[in-house]
A and B are shown apart, each in its own frame.
Chain A
Amino acid sequence: MQKIGVFVCWCGSNIAGTVDVERVAQAVANEPGVVISTDYQYMCSEAGQLKIRQAIKEYGLTGIVVCSCSPRMHEATFRKTAQAAGLNPYMVEIANIREQCSWIHKDKDEGTEKAIILAKAAIAKLHLNTPLKAGESAVTKRALVIGGGIAGIQTALDIADAGYEVDIVEKSPTIGGKMAQLDKTFPTLDCAACILTPKMVDASAHEKINLFTYSEVEGVSGFVGNFKVKIRKKARHVKADLCTGCGVCTEKCPSRKAPNEFNQGLNKRGAIYIPFAQAIPNVPVIDTEYCVKMKTGKCGLCATVCPSKAIDFEQQDEIVEREYGAIVAATGYKLINLDNFEEFGYAQNKDVITSLELERLMNAAGPTKGTLLRPSDNEHPHEIVFIQCVGSRDVSGCGKPYCSKICCMYTAKHAMMIRDKYPDTKVHVFYIDVRTPGKNFDEFYRRAVEEYGVDYIKGMVGKVVEKDGKLLVQGSDLIANEQIKIEADLVVLATAIEPDPSVKNLATMLTASIDTNNFLTEAHAKLRPVESPTAGVFLSGVCQGPKDVPETVAQASAAAAKVIGLLAKDKLTCNPCVANSNELLCNGCSQCANVCPYGAIEYINKEVNDHGKREVRRIALVNEAVCQGCGACTVTCPSGAMDLKGFTTRQIMAEVDAICK
């Protein structure tokens, strides 16, 4: 039997005004187990807490019930009080007789009656409380950033600057991501490379940052503070430690058939290549699909010309296992496939291009050295049509239901840059809505219209067809209520963006959840925007939702701050109110693991002693560091083996019984 003390708080007149606190204290004094029941003006005050501490010592209490304000307010306070008096902090129950009683009821009798019942329910629950101990787990002081774009680089730099080790895993041969492909960035028109490449260099030169380029995460196990990650380092067929990055091999390679991914396939590259001049690391990769030596065995020219003997055709993939305290997903985006939009003729006409292709066509390091030439005949386009919302805000199933967010601004940027560089070019933009909510964004868009004379047309394009070497664009002008036809030289599609396809597999590995559009979901849409619901997994950049560069960088730094906060701890205290399976009742059916949102339940084979019979059984084991204590498993469990500490089935039943007496 517990020895229980009941402490009824007046809260000045807040409670005492509508609840007869003395009567409450008297009414519960004779409840089983109650050895002392008293009231006081302010229980949370120093004097009130002293009263509790003294009572605990004097009567040798094993648990206390405080009838006061909401547990959301002072539960922590009274737990500390109990702990100071040598009691387990989880032997404290709060009866909420302020927010849920005195403040909402006017009749004093009614309020007092209810307060007595709430106190009795708390006592009934406390009888079944057991001392709980919060577990602790060590923290591996290293973070993993998955994705080496601007989001990943920024997160890694911030974490590394705080003094923690960071590994970046990037699936392509170089870090830099999509931003490296951009020409200029809105709204200031900074050159993307000029602001990105110094960051790339910083990341590679930082002593705390370790780059795994041309690598992929293969498996993740463990939990917050103690992740174990398998990384596959794909074979480059070039020994990175010997290679000097001189580039002779890339020049001599006779194969010129592979589409250049960095230039969005607008030109070709060799089978051995460095993605772009500022690539980090500056080590080539052999594309085995196009390498003549790899396919026929006859060539090996690169190996012959390499002055440092770095080419290794026999190189194999390598698996590295590393331990981390925190993981940041920064997997970024890609453009959607335009096969569903044949009305724009992207696949048929070379001169219908995506905005990312236009970025490369305008970039000084691009296939045209920065001169805007149309891909079909390398002529200057004189009339250009931009089409916005291609695949965005589309619920018909062809595209994506969300707004891709960045297209309005980059289209304004492109239109402005073209008008600036080639004033004789006519530029039309078909838009549904122009969305420019950002600092200096609307001003930027208005400048495109007012200063640069870009022709914005409210309406959508219905079709694009080729006619006598021109592109006939037919669309509607809703303001003029007309259907207009424009003979354009170049059509640019503001293509919707979607999360990188690798994120699906990654989310499964991390037990992070993804939404219907495959964006990673945050722990709370408003208050925890950079954390995933899985403890220790953080989100950075477009993998969480469409973002432009400034927003991505802001979120990247926010994620880094969260990681630093986690890595700064030597030990993690776990919430002790977690699920717990009774190994004698568990039949290993896996239903609990199916509903667990955190992947906190695993199965082990364990020898159990069932009434003297010893046998090995498959039973559920809850990882207390991962479990967040929602209780979904407890209700799902068909054998009643799962229970939630602090909110056990018996405890809640006891409360129900006490209330319904």
Chain B
Amino acid sequence: MTVNEKELAERVIRISGVNTKKCMKCGKCSGTCPSFEEMEYHPHQFVSMVEKGQIKKLMESKSIWTCLSCFACIERCPRSVEPAKLIEAVRVCVIRQQGENHLKANAVPEKLDENMPQQAIVSAFRKYSK
């Protein structure tokens, strides 16, 4: 399934529920981000790049995995733009795209480690089942 960038941008906006036009480009999100140095694209860039529809670059970058989801950017944004929700939405897009490569749900029990914490099992199900 090939999805063009416009559809991707719409999907990211739909999943996140973020209105990127509310951003006044103050940079407080990136100013507050504890994971800034580890990120290739920074929180404020996520907002402007989603607005410009450059989703593929974001999906390929490792920034989405270095975001700690600490939500400091959401907490401190003066315009309630909520960049972390955009990052999460891009992450979801990547996960959904990779859906085919993932384990089938019924293959999971065999691979389960008895010592694995309950929470990890639940989140694994959430992540790998479609």
Contacts and interface: CB of A to CB of B under 8 A. Distances in A.
B14 to A, nearest CB: 22
A463 B27 contact: no
A458 interface: yes
B32 A462 contact: yes
B87 interface: no
B37 A389 contact: no
A481 B31 CA distance: 10
B24 interface: yes
B99 interface: no
Contacts of A474: 31-32
A459 B24 contact: no
A430 B26 CA distance: 10
Chain B interface residue number, banded: 20 to 34
B27 A460 contact: yes
Chain A interface residue number, banded: 20 to 34
Interface of B is mostly: helix
A608 to B, nearest CB: 57
B33 interface: yes
B78 interface: yes
Contacts of B32: 343, 462-463, 474
Of B22, B28, B36, B44, the most chain A CB neighbours within 10 A belong to: B28
B76 interface: yes
A476 B28 CA distance: 7
A637 to B, nearest CB: 43
A399 B78 contact: yes
A159 B42 CA distance: 57
B33 A478 contact: no
A462 B31 contact: yes
B78 to A, nearest CB: 4
Interface string B3-42: 0000000000000000000101111111111001100001
Interface string A450-464: 000000001111110
Contacts of A397: 80
A353 to B, nearest CB: 20
Given A478-B44, A481-B42, A483-B33, A460 B79 contact: no
B31 A459 contact: yes
Contacts of A458: 27
A462 B30 contact: yes
A394 interface: yes
Contacts of A395: 22, 78-80
Contacts of B25: 432, 478
B59 interface: no
B76 A462 contact: yes
10 contacts: A393-B78, A394-B78, A395-B22, A399-B78, A459-B28, A461-B31, A481-B42, A483-B30, A483-B31, A483-B33
Interface of B: 22, 24-33, 36-37, 42, 44-45, 72, 76-80
